[in-house]
A and B are shown apart, each in its own frame.
Chain A
């Protein structure tokens, strides 16, 4: 059923329903409980104030954080796949998330925290790391005829990820135990420490990046013809590439600064979107944002309840599902 408008409303409804249900899902004494009347508990001052705080300061930010991060990672993957004409382009595999994570760890090492100046400083440094990695991987992967090669992209990603991991580990060895525990939990994909202020900063950045990409949808569609072909249909290819890499870096940088390294959402979701819609960037951008939000929301809810009272880092869960999917995609591409 390739009807993007129908899928849009279906996914939007599913995100709302899942968000409501995920906020209702809590734990008491190690047991998973459903609190379907959570809006009443949250907004009634004479209710249980401890529970209201849990919902308002922990559960809701976490649910909204999962929606925001998913809605950032999937469009970042979609746009990278569209301009490189490479189905394996994904911020995580290409080392862009790694670059952003390195930025955040460097900011942490310099003493920045999630509040105060760090509220802006950490996402900004994550963006710089992501932007550096994007420029580096695209320059490594660009072969003859401006074609971004599959091998170059994957190898470039391996090199950047290896470099960033090495520096991150080196910096972590210098962290004190509490800071080390928090940073490693965040690195593996942890949405448990999000605040409303962080979410507000993230939401503004993600929205701006998505709107910029939306305005460039006509040009991004033309990249199906390659850079030279896009130029022949009137697209200023180098300017669009610059804007697109900027937007992808904002999306990946914000996602990492909020939720750590969460892989495969940017890889798998754009492929699922192509089952719902034709190759038309504008509807696919909004579909990928919604589907990315839904997938990460479900994944995070499973991550915090599957082995309750213990939590699985959501990055581990997405990797467990994403790796077989990557192998299938890789095999399909190598056969072409």
Chain B
């Protein structure tokens, strides 16, 4: 076997062990299905089947990296949607113009760069890609977070005469992928980790600073999630959409101050409950703003087989505060774009 092939095989094995197995089981199952491997249910079984697929050549290193790009870092993140100024839409959709400006801005080496598997401690712009009119900026970061490790807790009597309790946290490594993607008139910023929206403003300013030659998006208009909440909540009340779009929780902010919270205690729409629907009917949209809401969207099936299995539903949280979208489940690239397409792009009124 030639060296480069052996090296690809080894890299594929490493990828399986380090990256692939960290993804959601449902996605791994679908990958294996496409390669005619069935029946695995646990991570150990998935690992065994993936190794067999790699060793037999059915699953190549190139296919794995492509698959990871589709899966890794999608979902469980915050998203901000900006309106691309009309004057820039065409130039950002033109790869020749984009490349020329990148080279001029000193970022030419990142143009269509090989997919990086590097995750440095400090966030790093690892590639700029242009495919089918879509411009993508990708940053990688080897983040870590604390996870409680109660088995390492202890307590002791200290020399000062007091008794102290110590709680232990394990440092957990994590591969964070940050993306900024321009699709025609829409620019989406995908921020993993950190639940504090106030810190997102600084992060967005930092990201923008790196790509300002092409997309100085912090100066652009953010789409209003308050308006999106109003539109989606109203749509969820239509009988024709009740199976695909549900609104278990919505907060309506009164323009005069205060708010009304509507909440279901199930995964169904609150407006499917008779008493709540009566109250909701008294809410005049013109007198309220969307505050925040959780929507449940039925996702398209991953594959033909999956269509027959349990339906996939994505929880999508929208907040008028900072105009942010919060996805809390792991998803695929296609899932995320499907969801973003469903969110009304409305300007603040």
Bind each other: no
A residues whose Cβ falls under 8 Å from a Cβ of B:
none
